[in-house]
C-alpha cells in the first residue's frame, strides 16, 4: 500500500492498494474510491471488540475495503480542520489514541478499548477513562485537531497538558492527573480544576485546536432563537 497526505486545513489521505489489499475504517469515513474497491461491513473481530470500539468513541461496525481484480484507490478525508498522521504499528510500537482519532488503517491493525489504570486519570484527565489502543501490524491514519506538536519524553520525564490537548502517545507512556494548586487558581484561573500529566518514556502528540475548545470559543457568539 502506498499513500499520500495532502491539503490544509482539511487534509485527505489517498491510499493506492495492490490487488487483494484491504483497508479498514469507521463507517462514513470513505471520501472517494475507484470502482473496483469492494466494501464489506462487519464487527471487526466479534461483538466484544465491536462494543470495545464503541466505548472508545468509534462506531459499532467497521467497513473493510478490498481492491479486486487489480490495483485500487481509496481516500479518507479529515472531519475537522487539523492534521492527518500516519503511524507504523508493530510489536513494541503500539499507540494510545484519543477518542474518535482513528481514521483508517491497513487490515492487519487492531483497534481496541484502552482503560486508564488510575481512576483519577479516568474521571478527570482530559481524554477520560477510555481511549483507543492501536496494535497489530500495519499503517494507521489518525486525525488530530489543529497543528500537531511532538515531544520525546525520557524515562521519568513528565509534561503537564491542559484538558483535550493530548492527542496520542506511545503505549510506553503513562497518564495521570494533578490538581491545579491554590483555591484562587482553581476558581479564577480559567484553566479548570485538573491538568493531565504524561510521563515517559515515549513520544507524545499534542494538538493545538481541540474540538471542545473551539466550541467553547464560539458559544458566546451563537444566537439562539426563542419561540
Output 120 or 159, whichever has higher pLDDT.
159
pTM exceeds cut of 0.85: no
- pLDDT for 184 equals 44
**Do residues 142 and 85 touch, judged by C-beta distance below 8 A?**
yes
Residue from 66, 128, 65 nearest 97 by CA: 128
Contact 98, 167 (CB under 8 A): yes
CATH no. for residue 138? 3.60.160.10
| Cell numbers found for residue 113 | 478499548
Tell me if 224 is assigned to some domain.
no
Number of domains in the chain: 1
In a domain, 227, yes or no: no
Whole domain around residue 111: which residue ranges? Answer: 2-218
Question: HSE-up of 128 (CA within 13 Å, CB side)?
Answer: 10
Rounded Cα gap, residues 186 and 218, in angstroms: 23
Whether 225 is in a domain gets the answer no
pLDDT category at 127 given cuts 50, 70, 90 is: very low
Whether residue 198 is contained in a domain is answered as yes
**What's the pLDDT at 126?**
46
Q: Which residue has the higher pLDDT, 119 or 25?
A: 25
pLDDT surpassing 80 at residue 123: no
C-alpha 95/C-alpha 204 separation (Å) is 10
C-alpha cell at 58: 468509534
Whether 54 is covered by a domain: the verdict is yes
Which pLDDT does position 172 carry in this prediction?
96
Mean pLDDT (the chain) is 82
* Length of the chain counted residue by residue: 227
* C-alpha span between 21 and 43 (Å, rounded): 19
Amino acid at each position: 500500500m502506498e499513500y499520500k497526505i495532502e491539503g490544509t486545513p482539511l487534509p485527505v489521505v489517498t491510499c493506492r492498494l495492490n490487488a487483494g489489499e484491504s483497508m479498514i475504517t469507521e463507517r462514513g469515513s470513505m471520501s472517494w474510491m475507484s470502482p473496483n474497491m469492494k466494501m464489506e461491513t462487519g464487527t471487526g473481530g466479534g461483538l466484544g471488540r465491536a462494543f470495545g470500539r464503541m466505548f472508545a468513541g468509534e462506531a459499532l461496525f467497521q467497513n473493510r475495503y478490498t481492491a479486486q481484480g487489480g490495483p485500487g484507490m481509496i481516500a479518507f478525508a479529515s472531519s475537522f480542520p487539523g492534521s492527518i498522521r500516519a503511524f507504523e504499528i508493530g510489536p513494541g510500537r503500539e499507540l494510545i489514541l484519543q477518542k474518535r482519532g482513528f481514521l483508517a488503517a491497513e487490515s492487519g491493525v487492531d483497534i481496541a478499548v484502552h482503560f486508564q489504570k488510575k481512576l483519577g486519570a479516568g474521571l478527570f484527565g482530559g481524554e477520560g477513562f477510555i481511549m483507543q489502543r492501536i496494535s497489530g501490524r500495519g499503517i494507521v491514519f489518525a486525525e488530530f485537531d489543529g497543528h500537531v506538536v511532538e515531544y520525546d519524553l525520557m524515562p521519568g520525564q513528565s509534561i503537564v497538558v491542559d484538558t483535550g490537548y493530548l492527542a496520542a502517545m506511545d503505549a510506553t507512556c503513562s497518564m495521570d492527573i494533578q490538581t491545579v494548586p491554590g483555591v484562587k487558581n482553581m476558581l479564577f484561573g480559567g484553566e479548570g480544576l485538573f491538568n493531565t500529566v504524561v510521563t515517559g518514556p515515549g513520544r507524545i502528540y499534542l494538538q493545538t485546536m481541540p474540538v471542545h475548545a473551539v466550541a467553547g470559543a464560539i458559544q458566546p457568539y451563537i444566537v439562539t432563537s426563542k419561540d
